[in-house]
Amino acid sequence: MSDTLFTRSDFSRKILEILDHVEYRRVESSEDMEDVERLRYKAYKAHDALSLAPEGLLDDVDFDSHAYIFGLYYYGELVSTIRIHYVTPEHRISRSGEAFPDAMDVLLDAGLTLIDPARFAADPELTADLPWVPYLTLRPAIVAAAYFRADRVIQSVRPPHAAFYKRVFYADTIVPGRLAESYGVDVTLMATNVIEVGRKLLTRYPFFISSASEQRMMFSRNPNDTLPPLTIIPTARFVPPGELGTDLPL
């Protein structure tokens, strides 16, 4: 494996250093779910986006067997949260499926498996001066794509945010911005083809790299496993170059 694969911009190098002070927690307990609900409310209210959760800050999808909710902690303090949904032709429940059922069915009818991140929320008081928070909050979506060997990472985003996902995640627009009844606002459906761009994504942003052990800690629900660990430490800095090929379904 060429050393040039790990060439890092100053931005990526800085985020790799920040990983030393970051941890993830998979939310399983009712107490942690309450913390997530409070953070969602605080974030959505600050951005005048409570309409994005017309049925409340927790919904049935949060408790679906294919849903995984994470908190991102910086120096031990919860700064953001994300829900990751693993969507398959046999299990089609997802937030994007509610907003874009026809487009999602086209992908699933083709036999594709999808990672659908939703319910992104960041504490506006803690993250105003932390520009890396969106990258590390969304990082579990890339870890999920590696663990589940998924074909696409889906993004249902408001049109002003589409440029970010196109630039960072090489996402293609599937459905241009339109009113989504389940959200009550205009939403764009996008998708990252991780089969095609996975290697390029990990090369440009090596902080998205994860070890097989981290992937299992985040997403395994093997009944023989113990309860998920209290904390999950990002492993991007510790994955040997020779193991990169296992990180995404390249």
Residue 181 maps to a domain: yes
Q: Which of 16-30, 149-163, 168-182 is least confident?
A: 168-182
Q: Is the pLDDT of residue 220 over 80?
A: yes
**Strand locations in 27-76 (E):** 67-74
pLDDT band at 5 (very low <50, low <70, confident <90, very high): very low
Strand partners of residue 86: 115
The structure's pTM equals 0.89
Residue 246 maps to a domain: no
When pLDDT is averaged across residues 78-83 and rounded to a whole number, the result is 96
pLDDT band at 210 (very low <50, low <70, confident <90, very high): very high
How many structural domains is the chain composed of? Answer: 1
Strand partners of residue 69: 83
Residue 241 maps to a domain: no
What is the pLDDT, as a whole number, of residue 57?
83
Give the Å distances, CA to CA, from 247 to 4, 147, 227: 17, 8, 24
Q: What CATH code is carried by the domain that includes residue 83?
A: 3.40.630.30
Percent of the chain surpassing pLDDT 90: 66
Residue 102 maps to a domain: yes
pLDDT band at 7 (very low <50, low <70, confident <90, very high): very low
**Contact (Cβ atoms closer than 8 angstroms) between residue 163 and residue 157:** no
What is the pLDDT, as a whole number, of residue 243?
54
Taking the C-alpha atoms of residue 41 and residue 53, their distance in angstroms, rounded to an integer, is: 9
Q: Is the pLDDT of residue 176 over 60?
A: yes
Residue 236 maps to a domain: no
Query: Which of these, 66, 205, 76, 98, lies nearest to 142 by C-alpha position?
Result: 205
Residue 100 maps to a domain: yes
Residue 195 maps to a domain: yes
What is the pLDDT, as a whole number, of residue 186?
87
pLDDT band at 28 (very low <50, low <70, confident <90, very high): confident
Residue-number span of the structural domain to which 117 is assigned: 15-219
Residue 238 maps to a domain: no
